[in-house]
């Protein structure tokens, strides 16, 4: 054998789960997509085809559904920790990673709901050495501001053609993930962090996506004392001003082409001091 | 030549347009994806490579942006009619089809907005012989009800294995398109039709997707006197009950697998008598 | 009731089926996505919630799998006809529509295969009044030519800015559907039609997408005597020349931006005279 | 300020570039999607809105197009290194990451091409401290084997229901990325690595996806001496045997449902000893 197995991970992804809480009236609904992954001493599965230590990914899926029946599912973070604890006790496992995407629904009626759109709420629980690291977040939250966004004062080299602007559209799809301090468990704070991100995006006088990102990160830290750090990823979905001058028309920041390719991509982590 | 050109249509699709109404404070935003298509006497373009009658699709795109500057864009239906009238005057054109998808945004702040999700509002204007036919609608409105949905009493043949049920999840993604009577122009009624569709989906005691679809169609007709007919397309996004009995657990309509493939597809048109 | 049911159709869509022919060595594989839809006298299902005439879409799915076991699946067209005949005998059915997308695989090894990509081969069989109408086709066949494509001589109005060109990139994703004469059943001719479309796209001296489309349609008719007409849909995926002059560089049709939005869309039907 | 900027990266993503080599006859075509990202001392951009050190992402895009004109683009790895060297000289930059996806085309004709499908070839060049780390790979290579795949001997707990099998379909979409030794530059070896992955997938007598993955990794190392390690990610796209017994039919591994959700996911890195 020329090669050594220097890292491995396996599991079941995209387990689709809907739980209806029927005891309550009106009904509640929880809609999740769950990934389970294990790391550990699984070398012989790879090198010898010896499956005696290989918990089937089908078993992982069954376990998720059985736990979903028994657990209250009040917070996906707690549910992920319960699953992680269970899998961490299997032979050979050194690390469990549970990732959950929660698809939010709005109530229409005591027993009926509408999907809110592309935004999903996320959690990733990493469990190793009898301890859980808990990250919560969101992705697919698409926002746009029509003013209070500038980009000027940047360096110019032989390949620079972009004009400076004091007023442009700023549009992005927010991906955020924040890590909670060890032992923190007030997971309802997710709403406060989300609100802080949105309010800051809306109200910030932006000199760049970077500056707005940083302000959003600071607001997230301020909104929830349990947050240790927050990572943000903000694509800059450029809205290009249409040149209407060939048609004898002014375009004072009114008519734009929305584009998706190419896009800027600004990413950073802001940590509590 | 072995072949005759028996039908032709051409145009520009997926013209992305964002208009900011800055005169107003707070700002308004309109976000559209527009398709322009022409039919007519364009045979020589195809058979002889003679482009003298072929309005460039790039010109169509420019026209859309110039009109967007000048027109108020209060209702996409009116904007589509204006575009259709313009293109119908070009030489050779016998029919113009303008299709617009409007992407709704929710206000966060006087100058900031969040996308509401995958739902889009649609209009198709077909203009021929100096008359416009106007259809409005929506697609991507995902809804689910946790009860008041049955499916029983259906015929059984040698390939039938589905059990009857008096209580199941009903989930769909609504596509609707309704045609307005000639001369109707109160396009703000879209909101009333949309509300009627949602309320009926939520409140209906369903014996089948078909029966719910029909009730939704009747409600749409009742909600707006200008609607002549409504066509609905409702995929049945099956939610499968998980068998938890191997794990010693009951599953009384609590734990489901959400699926997308395969799906039922129920389509019908309901017309005013 | 304010509304009358003026059209209806229902069925099961996206039935995913893989058949392995193991009797053969090497193995063969057929990979299909199938839609079944019925039209007919189903009014009471909609208006009264009376399901006695409503063949379950789950039964349709089971029927497809059972037929797939028994039928040879040599040609998807024949398989679709068999399914259509079966469903046409159900009470109330006036029309059956079977649509099949075939996903092609390339052989790697006697028992292993690689997917060829996004191209799928399609068939739609419409069965009514004891007769089948058979259409075959393809979609997702992405092609590009680097020269022998012009667009000039088109009319100029107040919104025209596009320069004329004698040499541009032409890129498209071919969707084609051709109808066979009644009784024709040499479905292996699909390969000849496909080859004719590709060869004509490649070799044609193009004055416009329209002219190339027409030449492709004529070639398809010439390639297979059983083809009565062919419909083509060709998006024009514009490749924009990059202006390198600010950097002191020429760009003689060498460096392009590939775009998907907006795109031209050229559609026509060519029929045997 | 409550927060410190503990990591940051920014750049331009999804730069779409097509280069036609017209000097040659027949023409050649290179079709790329490029991401540029920089890390470095950009704190003041975030914290103070000071853009004096912030190279515009639009400038990055222009740079890519200008370099594409001048560079031969024989291998995307070399092109990525050239770009990385250029950006590494900008003030404040400590690390440059260039990621390129190459979309392969098959020649139809001297000047015409067809896309091969969803497979893309990838490279990631990370440049820091005057040294480049070069990874090449592929993604979207969908393969399936109809036999020589087993999964048995795995542990059973209270949530295990999966039967053991000695013969199943194995289907996956290969993602692979291999790192070259410092100074290695025979990038044409990509073809040899790709061939080794495919041949091993096809010929391996598989006891598990894990075991096949490991064999593929070893084959990749054996195929190219310049490869230091290879990381593979193999989703297990389950093909479920259809139960035809209710219809009085056997199903001896002939009729399957192809599924995408949920899926197993097996990932590992194999390193040269």
Answer whether A263's CB lies under 8 Å from A238's CB: yes
At D173, is the secondary structure helix, strand, or coil? strand
Both tokens of C139, joined, read 């979609």
DSSP state letters, chain D: --EEEEEEEEEEEEEEEEEEE-SSSS-EEEEEEEEEEEEES-HHHHHH---TT---HHHHHHHHHHHHHHS--S-HHHHHHHHHHHHHTSTTEEEEEEEEEE--EEEEETTEEEE--S-EEEEEEEEETTEEEEEEEEEEEEEEESSSB-B------TT--PPPBS---EEEEEEEEEEEPTT---GGGHHHHHHHHHHHHHH--BS-HHHHHHHHHHHHHHH-TTEEEEEEEEEE--EEEP--GGGT---SS-EEEE--SSEEEEEEEEEE-
Higher-pLDDT residue of A94 and C1 is A94
Kindly determine whether residue B109 and residue A68, on different chains, have CB atoms separated by under 8 Å.
Answer: no
In a domain, B1, yes or no: no
Q: Are residues B196 and B125 in the same domain?
A: no
Q: Last residue of some domain: B129, B156, B188?
A: B129
Q: CA-to-CA distance for B60 and C261, rounded, in angstroms?
A: 14
Question: Residue A23 is part of which domain span?
Answer: 10-129
Q: Is D29 in CB contact (< 8 Å) with chain C? A: yes
Quick one: pLDDT band at residue C1, thresholds 50, 70, 90? low
Asked whether residue B89 carries a pLDDT value surpassing 80, the answer given is yes
Quick one: pLDDT band at residue A1, thresholds 50, 70, 90? low
Give φ, ψ of A221 to 5 degrees.
-60, -40
Give φ, ψ of D219 to 5 degrees.
-65, -35
Q: Are residues B95 and B185 in the same domain?
A: no
At C18, is the secondary structure helix, strand, or coil? strand
Asked whether residue A161 carries a pLDDT value surpassing 90, the answer given is yes
Which chains have 3+ CB pairs within 8 A of C?
A, B, D
The predicted pLDDT at position A140 comes to 97
Q: Are residues D116 and D149 in the same domain?
A: no
- Residues in D 101-160 with any Cβ partner in A closer than 8 A: 151-157, 159-160
Average pLDDT, chain C: 97
What is the ipTM for the molecules in this complex? 0.95
In a domain, A1, yes or no: no
Quick one: pLDDT band at residue A48, thresholds 50, 70, 90? very high
Asked whether residue B70 carries a pLDDT value surpassing 70, the answer given is yes
Kindly determine whether residue C161 and residue B46, on different chains, have CB atoms separated by under 8 Å.
Answer: no
In a domain, C264, yes or no: yes
Q: CA-to-CA distance for B232 and C103, rounded, in angstroms?
A: 30
Among the listed residues D61, D86, D103, D238, the single catalytic one is D238
Q: How far is C227 from chain D (nearest CA, A)?
A: 24
Quick one: pLDDT band at residue D197, thresholds 50, 70, 90? very high
Q: Last residue of some domain: D97, D129, D161?
A: D129
The predicted pLDDT at position A106 comes to 95
Q: CA-to-CA distance for C168 and C206, rounded, in angstroms?
A: 10
Query: For B142-172, what is each residue's pLDDT tens digit?
Result: 999 999 999 999 999 999 999 999 999 999 9
Q: Are residues D265 and D149 in the same domain?
A: yes
Q: Are residues D193 and D69 in the same domain?
A: no
Q: Which residues of B touch C262 (CB under 8 A)?
A: 12-16, 61
Task: Count residue pairs from A and C with Cβ separation < 8 A.
Answer: 10
Of all residues in chain C, what percent carry a pLDDT higher than 90? 96
Q: Are residues B84 and B162 in the same domain?
A: no
Considering the entire predicted model, what is its pTM?
Answer: 0.97
Lowest-pLDDT range of A54-63, C109-118, C148-157, C182-191: C109-118
Quick one: pLDDT band at residue B117, thresholds 50, 70, 90? confident
Q: How far is C263 from chain A (nearest CA, A)?
A: 13
Answer whether A20's CB lies under 8 Å from A27's CB: yes
In a domain, C255, yes or no: yes
A29, A199, A255: residue with CB nearest B146? A29
Query: For A177-223, what is each residue's pLDDT tens digit?
Result: 999 999 999 999 999 999 999 999 999 999 999 999 999 999 999 99
In a domain, D1, yes or no: no
Q: Are residues B175 and B238 in the same domain?
A: yes
Beta strands in A110-211 (DSSP E): 112-115, 120-128, 131-145, 170-180
At A191, is the secondary structure helix, strand, or coil? helix
Cα dihedral: A109, A113, A117, A121 (round 10): 110
Asked whether residue A10 carries a pLDDT value surpassing 80, the answer given is yes
In a domain, C74, yes or no: yes
Q: Are residues B17 and B119 in the same domain?
A: yes
For residue D188, say if its preceding peptide bond is cis, omega within 30 degrees of 0: no
The predicted pLDDT at position D45 comes to 98
C-alpha dist (Å) from residue D186 to B270, D119, D181: 66, 22, 11
Task: Count residue pairs from C and D with Cβ separation < 8 A.
Answer: 178
Residue of B nearest to D161 (CA): B246
State how far Cα C77 lies from the chain centre: 13
Number of other CB atoms surrounding residue C121 within 10 Å? 20
Asked whether residue C236 carries a pLDDT value surpassing 80, the answer given is yes
Asked whether residue C129 carries a pLDDT value surpassing 60, the answer given is yes
Q: CA-to-CA distance for A2 and D214, rounded, in angstroms?
A: 11
Number of other CB atoms surrounding residue B235 within 10 Å? 21
Q: Last residue of some domain: D98, D129, D160?
A: D129
Q: Are residues C144 and C253 in the same domain?
A: yes
Residue with tokens 């600004």: A266
Output the domain CATH number for residue D190: 3.10.270.10
Kindly determine whether residue C161 and residue A246, on different chains, have CB atoms separated by under 8 Å.
Answer: yes
Q: CA-to-CA distance for A207 and A170, rounded, in angstroms?
A: 11
Query: What is the Cα gyration radius of chain D?
Result: 23
Query: What is the Cα gyration radius of chain C?
Result: 23
Q: CA-to-CA distance for D62 and D68, rounded, in angstroms?
A: 10
The predicted pLDDT at position A52 comes to 97
Q: Is B164 in CB contact (< 8 Å) with chain C? A: no
**Is residue C19 flagged as an active site residue?**
no
**Is residue B238 flagged as an active site residue?**
yes
D161, D246, D247: residue with CB nearest B246? D161
- Per residue, the 3-state secondary structure of A228-242, as one string, reads EEEEEEEEECCEEEC
**Is residue A12 flagged as an active site residue?**
yes
In a domain, C2, yes or no: no
Residue of D nearest to A14 (CA): D262
- Residues in A 57-96 with any Cβ partner in B closer than 8 A: 62, 65-66, 68-70
How many distinct structural domains can be found in chain B?
A: 2
State how far Cα C106 lies from the chain centre: 20
Asked whether residue D203 carries a pLDDT value surpassing 90, the answer given is yes
Q: Are residues D81 and D142 in the same domain?
A: no
Quick one: pLDDT band at residue B1, thresholds 50, 70, 90? low
The predicted pLDDT at position B23 comes to 78
Asked whether residue C85 carries a pLDDT value surpassing 90, the answer given is yes
Query: For A86-138, what is each residue's pLDDT tens digit?
Result: 999 999 999 999 999 999 999 999 999 999 888 999 999 999 999 999 999 99
Residues 6 or more apart from D68 whose CB is under 8 A from it?
C255, D17, D19, D79
In a domain, B247, yes or no: yes
CA angle A117, A119, A120 (to 5 degrees): 120
Q: What is the mean pLDDT of residues C60-88?
A: 98
Q: Are residues D113 and D184 in the same domain?
A: no
Q: Are residues A148 and A123 in the same domain?
A: no
């Amino acid at each position: 054998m020329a090669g050594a197995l220097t890292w491995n991970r396996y599991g079941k992804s995209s387990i689709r789960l809907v739980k209806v809480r029927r005891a309550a009236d009106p009904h509640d609904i929880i809609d999740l997509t769950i990934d389970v992954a294990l790391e550990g001493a699984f070398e012989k599965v790879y090198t010898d085809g010896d499956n005696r230590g290989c918990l089937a990914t089908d078993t992982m899926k069954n376990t998720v559904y059985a736990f979903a029946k028994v657990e209250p599912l009040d917070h996906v973070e707690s549910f992920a920790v319960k699953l992680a604890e269970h899998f961490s006790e299997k032979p050979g496992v050194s690390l469990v990673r549970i990732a959950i995407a929660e698809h939010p629904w709005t109530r229409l009626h005591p027993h009926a709901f509408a999907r809110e759109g592309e935004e999903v709420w996320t959690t990733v629980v990493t469990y190793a050495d009898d301890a859980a690291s808990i990250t919560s977040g969101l992705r697919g939250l698409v926002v746009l501001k029509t003013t209070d966004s500038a980009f000027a004062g940047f360096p110019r080299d032989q390949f620079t053609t972009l004009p400076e602007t004091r007023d442009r559209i700023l549009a992005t799809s927010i991906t955020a993930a924040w890590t909670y301090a060890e032992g923190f468990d007030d997971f309802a704070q997710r709403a406060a962090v989300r609100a802080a991100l949105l309010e800051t995006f809306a109200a910030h006088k932006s000199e760049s996506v970077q500056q707005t990102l940083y302000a959003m990160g600071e607001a997230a830290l301020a909104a929830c004392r349990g947050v240790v750090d927050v990572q943000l990823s903000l694509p800059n979905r450029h809205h290009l001003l249409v040149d209407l001058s060939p048609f004898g028309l002014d375009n004072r920041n009114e008519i734009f082409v929305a584009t998706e390719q190419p896009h800027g991509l600004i990413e950073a982590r802001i940590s509590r001091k």
